[in-house]
Structure 1
Amino acid sequence: MDIAQQSLTTPHRQITILDAPGHKDFIPNMISGASQADCALLVVDASTGEFEAGFERGGQTREHLLLVRSLGVSQVVVAVNKLDMVQWEQSRYDEILGQMQPFLLQSGFQQSKTSFVPVGAMSGVNLVNRDAPEAAALSRWYSGPTLVDLLDVLEPPSRNITAPLRFPISNVFKGQSSAYGVQGRVCGGIVQVGERLRILPGDESALVKYIDHEEENVEWAADGSNVTLYLTGVDPVHLNVGSVLCPPSDLVPLVTVFTARILVFDVSLPITAGASVELFHQAHDVPASISKLLATLDRANGTIIRKNPRVLTKGASAEVQITLRSSVYSGPAARPRPIPLETFASNKEMGRILIRREGETIAAGIVLEILS
């Protein structure tokens, strides 16, 4: 399932909306969308029983919030939708806020960067205004901002345009004539029309024929832009979701073994050395193992509490070694395919990882050192 993309212009912002699927079967797609985001708009269902189903342990609302925060998103707007299904009761809105606000703080979202807004999406209530007759019941107790008002005051993050270009591919499709389109987010630096880029993994390169940004042709795009690059001079077999485009003079390291500092989520089973996991990095989803538990750390200051722990339990901060595994079993000598990866110190977006096991997100972290 693809990530739907749409543009929205507010009085002070030009916003690109990435609509990621919410169902648990499409978490990899959601991760791909969240890795391209600056801010999060979380829509929760206020109808009876639906909010509880998403917010209870193991629910998708909790997991989505943990995922976006782990991927570096610090601003979130929570739209409490379908309040018309509960007769616009203020008590229901307050009940949902009462449960979500502590969890957001616990997950690392600052209160000053978190907003809530009641809406009725199907009838358009409080999306742009509250002028419609259907909004009368809400207006009796709510006089705050609309959804668009909150989107209009989101803080744009700083952009690192002096860094080497990094462009992880999130989608590939056939363009016009001989060009092939690749969608993604510029994660550092600037990309320009006419530039030749290396495709990693692999030895191929391609020429940027033109760049599409919000349905307009542009000559260049900078860090943070969600764009489509149309490439020529390359066989499309070499263009894959998860590959990274970069300058031939400044290649991204190809990695199979690295160390990371991770935070363990609310896991049902502890993490042990040798545990088989799924590693998510940008649009990559590859098999890996937690090959070594190097140390548990103090969450406040990062100092070592214990070296070589036997297990990692929920809430633990730890330094671990992660080793990629071969995706196709062909004996003990099968070599895993490396992925383009950088340390968090070199590039924050290229240095974030998520770890899942048996359909559950168990940890998130940052790459510390590349070993192989």
Structure 2
Amino acid sequence: MTSKPKPNLGVIFLGHVDCGKSTIIGHLGFLTGSVTKKQMDKCEKESREGGKESFKYAWVVDKTRHERSRGLTTISSVLNLELTTKSVTTVNVPGLANFLPKLMERVFHAEVAVLVVSAAEGEFESGISTNGQTEDHLRIASSFGVEQIVVVVNKMDDRNVKYSFKRYREVKTKTMHLLESNGYCANDVPFIPISGWCGDNLTENSTKMEWYTGETLLSTIESMHVPFKYADLPLRMPILNVFNISGLGTVPIGRIEFGKLEVNQVVKFGPTNTSGQVLSIQSFGKSKLVAYPGDEIGFHVKDATKKEIKKGMVAGDLENDPPSRVSSFQAKITLLNASPSLTINSKPRLFIHTLSCICNVDTMLQLLNPESADEILKKKPSVLNGGDTAIVVLKPQAPICVEPFDRYPKLGRFMLMMSKKLIGYGIIKSVTKAEN
């Protein structure tokens, strides 16, 4: 008899550049046995030879030559942790401002966000400054519906911090204000002082911070709730990448959000009519006959090429409500307070699941009271300003596949950018499918 798979929890690590996300994930992976001693020894040897020994844990997830030479994460990476009660897929994302799109294509997967802030003098302040990314990361997580959040105050071992409770309390107080201003109840958010490098409070309570009596990061993650997975809905798997593997063939990569994928199933890649048969499924080096919501997988598909399958497409069951091209969609949007005005024919960039494209503001139907969405302040407004909430119709300027929020929530939340700045967020109320 096949044992029932452990529930899968998606955990994304957020935070300003150089706050220590990669080091925390790599060290946590090693301490939990998800990273073997052989793998760790290799990272330690390579980092020492490169004159960057303090990056040995970070190099577990930062694997490219470019990342290692700069000491910065530039590519999203995934590490799977097999814990006692659940399987945890950790996602590391870049912390630089120009990599926000990489964050948005990953955060919609997550059920938990771990916000990393640095206790080091000047580093925390840089992260929460106007040019810092701490608040943008929080805002994106909140806008994409990530309800469970943990804050870790990293670098408590810094030579100027010296595991100081006073500094921890200062950082915690300021971070709580950011949480509240971005839709989180700060009093319900766990705060954990840690050292990603030394391992304090990662898997065992630190003897250097006896003033902290809470849980470790590992036990906190293990206690997080795994939301209900919609395996009974038609298959939806947004494509994150596609590879042509020698000796195998075309392998799309992504995470199943709804439904299930089985070997021999025929899948369609919306918004196109490309389809193919699933020959095999892999997840973190292990073969599967069936993959369920939450599983990060690659699958070998027959009769479909890398040229035909693109990032941002959505795989679905050819015989059961396959994903279709959408010509326009009605959405409820909220503009951020500092947003530029939107008018008819404004062209913001849409970020939804693994897709981004320019959309045209086709129609403005209603201006709503942001405090009471049922109250219509004005019909057919001519302009929307920062802080406004409205019902609008958006027309994508490229073929896309999206879904109503009330049916497929993770495929119905989005954010908008203009001039490389976040300007708003929204949910899709209804879609108009394109005629074949």
TM-score, scaled to structure 1: 0.90
Q: Is the 8 A contact 1:178 1:232 kept in 2?
A: no
Which residue of 255, 270, 276 corresponds with 2:347? 276
Q: Match of 2:395?
A: 323
Q: Secondary structure at the match of 1:94?
A: helix
Residue 232 of structure 2 corresponds to which residue in structure 1? 162
- Displacement, 1:272? 3.0
Q: Which of 221, 229, 240 is equivalent to 1:151? A: 221
Point out 4+ residue stretches in structure 1 off by more than 6 angstroms. none
Instruction: Report the Cα distance in structure 1 between the residues aligned to 2:237 and 2:127, rounded to whole angstroms.
Output: 33
Which segment drifts farther, 18-27 or 49-58? 49-58
Q: Does 1:289 align with 2:333?
A: no
CA deviation after TM superposition for structure 1 residue 109, in Å = 2.4
Counterpart of 1:66 (choices 108, 129, 139) is: 139
SS of structure 1 residue aligned to 2:110: coil
Contact 1:179 1:230 in 2 (8 A): yes
Cα distance change on mapping 1:266 and 1:208 into 2, 3 Å: same
Q: What pairs with 1:40-119 in structure 2 (closer than 5 Å)? A: 40-85=113-158, 86-111=161-186, 114-119=189-194
Matched, 1:212 2:282: yes
Pick closer, same or farther for the CA change 1:129–1:108 going to 2, 3 Å: same
Alignment check: 8 A CA contact 2:271 2:324 kept = no
Between 1:62-71 and 1:306-315, the stretch displaced more is: 306-315
Conserved? CA contact 1:165–1:246, under 8 Å: yes
1:83 is paired with a residue of what secondary structure?
A: coil
1:309 corresponding residue in structure 2: 381
- Aligned 8 A contact 2:369 2:377 in 1: yes
| Inter-partner Cα distance in structure 2 for 1:45 and 1:313 | 35
Letter in 2 for 1:91: K
- Say if 1:281 and 1:90 are closer, same or farther in 2 by CA, change over 3 A: same
Q: Quick one: structure 1 residues 272 and 96, their matched pair in 2 at CA, closer, same or farther if it must change by over 3 Å?
A: farther
In structure 1, the residue corresponding to 2:276 is in which secondary structure?
A: strand
Equivalent position SS for 1:238: coil
Please tell me whether residue 339 in structure 1 is matched to residue 400 in structure 2: yes
Establish whether residue 183 from structure 1 lines up as the match of residue 284 from structure 2. Answer: no
Q: Deviations over 1:317-364 (max 9, x none)?
A: 211121223xxxxxxxxxxx3201111122111111110111111111
Please give the secondary structure, in 2, of the residue aligned with 1:48.
coil
Unaligned 5+ segments in structure 2 are 1-73
Describe the SS at the equivalent of 2:157. Answer: helix
- Contact kept, 8 Å, 2:339 with 2:424, in 1: the verdict is no
Task: State the alpha-carbon separation in 2 of the partners of residues 118 and 98 from structure 1.
Answer: 13
How big is the shift at 1:113?
5.3
Q: Secondary structure at the match of 1:259?
A: strand
SS of the counterpart of 1:26? helix
- CA distance 1:53–1:272, change in 2 (3 Å): farther
Q: Which stretch of the first structure deviates more once superposed, 342-351 or 176-185?
A: 176-185
The CA deviation at 1:160 is 1.0
Aligned residue for 2:13?
none
Q: Does 1:264 align with 2:335?
A: yes
Name the TM-score, length of structure 2 as normaliser.
0.77
Partner of residue 245, structure 1: 315
> Relative to structure 2, which stretch is displaced further, 100-109 or 243-252?
100-109
Q: Secondary structure in 2 aligned to 1:276?
A: coil
Q: CA deviation at 1:290?
A: 2.4
- Indicate conservation of the 8 Å contact 2:271/2:323, yes or no: no
User: Which amino acid letter does the alignment assign opposite residue 403 of structure 2?
Assistant: E
Q: Give the AA of the match of 1:31.
A: M
